[in-house]
Amino acid sequence: MDFYLDIQVQPDLDISAPALMNNLFAKFHRSMAQALPGEIAVSFPKYHHSLGDILRLHGTEKSLNQLMSLPWLKGLRDYTEVSALREVPADIKGYRSVYRVQKKSVNNRRKRSIAKGWLSEEEAIHRIPDEAQQTLKLPFLQFKSLSSQQNMRIYVALGELLSEPTKGPVNSYGLSRSATVPWF
């Protein structure tokens, strides 16, 4: 992943930066799943308590050009500023993974316990109370699943800063627990 480009969301009075980032990321995910699965990774250069207002795309020159030739930014052009495609600078801080963190909901844990025959419905409600739901204190993206029509959150975490890159699979969200991206 020797090339990158930045897409900065530009909020206005009607729509906030997080809402724009959610829309941008949902469109990116749909394009990746259909056109370029596993070829482009993402990072968030302003990651802190939130993901910030920049989505950085990492990949080869060919794959990034291919993605940007698709009409996936339609409807967001007025709210985004896309940088030129650039080579990764030589003076980077290192490499890190950017990955998704998931926690099973209380409801899903109950359903599984009942389906597996471990607990009855009554036991599941008693043994797995609503208060057992763990909340993550990570920045997240939120959008509607096209398949289930449910709102979903994609919690994003950063791996440790490494001196050497590592390869691995990248999912349709552009995230990977094993593959690293240049961090700068």
Would you kindly state where each structural domain of the chain is located, as residue ranges?
Answer: 3-101+137-183
Per-residue pLDDT reduced to its tens digit, 50-62? 999 999 999 999 9
Separation CA 127–CA 118 (nearest Å): 11
Among candidate residues 86, 62, 83, the one with its CA nearest the CA of residue 73: 83
Separation CA 116–CA 67 (nearest Å): 43
Q: Which is it for the CA torsion 145, 147, 150, 155, positive or negative?
A: negative
Q: In the predicted model, what is the mean pLDDT of residues 24-46? A: 92
pLDDT given for residue 127 in this prediction: 79
Fold designation for 3-101+137-183: Alpha-Beta Plaits (3.30.70)
Q: In the predicted model, what is the mean pLDDT of residues 160-183? A: 96
Q: Do 56 and 25 meet the contact criterion of CB atoms below 8 Å apart?
A: no
